[in-house]
Structure 1
Amino acid sequence: MNSIFKIICVALIASSASAQHENHTQPEANATTAKAKSPRTSAMAMVGDNHVHIDYGSPSVRGRQIWNGLVAYDQVWATGAHKATWVDFSQDVVINGQTVPKGKYGFFTIPGPAEWTLILSRDWDMHLADDYKPEQDVVRVQVKPETQNDLTEALTYEVVPEGKHKGEIRMRWEKVGVSLPFQNK
């Protein structure tokens, strides 16, 4: 009886595989192997005892005009693709003279040709900047964008330690970069 059961199981498995082949269907696992155009990725580093983690969608230039094209000047941008970019500090930090308690924050920017506004918001879980509210801002910093000679095809973040107590969050895309300096409290 046991051997009949094994034969039936083998026949059912073979029949299922044959049906998938005949219907030109593929297992679901293969459907997720296609490369996303704006994959979700992360950057992180230890700055002293502070673990700094950034989660973001990383779009690519792909021949498009990025600044004042795909990304409008003078409008709030989620500084990544799809869901808003977020930053998590495991310890309190000081940014631009202001204490930012440990925790997770949305990282938004307002790009401009000569100046950018970098923003940490209490609201980190949203699609793009659809529900962005300035009253949720924890800190805003004005910075000058840095022009780079080399093209950065995919939007890239880095957490760069500068000694045990200081660091920077750096964002680069196309030929532009901005940095948000912070200090552990």
Structure 2
Amino acid sequence: MKNLRLFRLLTLLLIGVLWVSRTQAQDAAKEKPSPAATATGKIGKATITVAYSSPAVKGRTVWGGLVPYGQVWRAGANEATTFTTDQPLMVEGKALPAGTYALFVIPTEKQWTIIFNKTAKQWGAFKYDEKQDALRVMATPRKTASMAERLVYEVTPQGLILRWENQEVLVGLK
């Protein structure tokens, strides 16, 4: 009798473990709404790394809609996007020391303000403090040749490109 109870208990325990592991595997297989992404590249001797969460358009109007014009945007989803350089850089002709920064953007239809903020670890732009800005530069957005469903960053020899929906902006780096 004891052996039968022990056998039933172990069987139920095994079934429970298998069920939980199967459920977790299914959850892991589901795509996150804004998966984490990284863009890395070299600008001269500097290694640049941009860490961000990549939201999707999902049929929405991004610029001037989901991302309002004239307001600080976290340049991604979830945590603020971070920009790291291991060497000092010139950003649109202005000096930026080596370090890790939160990257924010204030988009408008004609010009975007690109912000490198000293408080790298923060959730979104909810506690953004302009007094912590290390550098602000201006960049001009342009229409893309094709629609980009997900936000993507790219480090090229010319600088950093932010591309999403039907727009992209190049931030010149040297």
TM-score, length basis structure 2: 0.87
The answer as to 2:132 corresponding to 1:178 is no
CA distance in 2, matches of 1:32, 1:46: 32
Identity %: 31
Letter in 1 for 2:15: S
SS at structure 2 position matched to 1:32: helix
The answer as to 2:100 corresponding to 1:100 is no
Answer yes or no: is the 8 Å Cα contact 2:49–2:85 preserved in 1.
yes
The answer as to 2:67 corresponding to 1:71 is yes
CA distance in 2, matches of 1:98, 1:116: 16
Note the C-alpha offset of 1:29.
4.1
Change (3 A) 1:73 1:15: same
The answer as to 2:36 corresponding to 1:40 is yes
1:69-111 superposed Cα distances (whole Å, 9 cap, x missing partner) = 1100000000100110011001111123332111101110001
Q: What's the counterpart of residue 116 of structure 1?
A: 112
1:117-161 superposed Cα distances (whole Å, 9 cap, x missing partner) = 111111111111011111111111112211113100100000002
Note the C-alpha offset of 1:67.
1.2
The size of the alignment, in residue pairs, is: 167
TM-score, length basis structure 1: 0.83
SS at structure 2 position matched to 1:135: helix
Change (3 A) 1:142 1:48: closer
CA distance in 2, matches of 1:17, 1:97: 63
Q: What's the counterpart of residue 86 of structure 1?
A: 82
CA distance in 2, matches of 1:143, 1:31: 40
1:33-59 superposed Cα distances (whole Å, 9 cap, x missing partner) = 211010011000122321110000100
* Aligned pairs (5 A) from 1:133-152: 133-152=129-148
SS at structure 1 position matched to 2:15: helix
Note the C-alpha offset of 1:27.
4.8
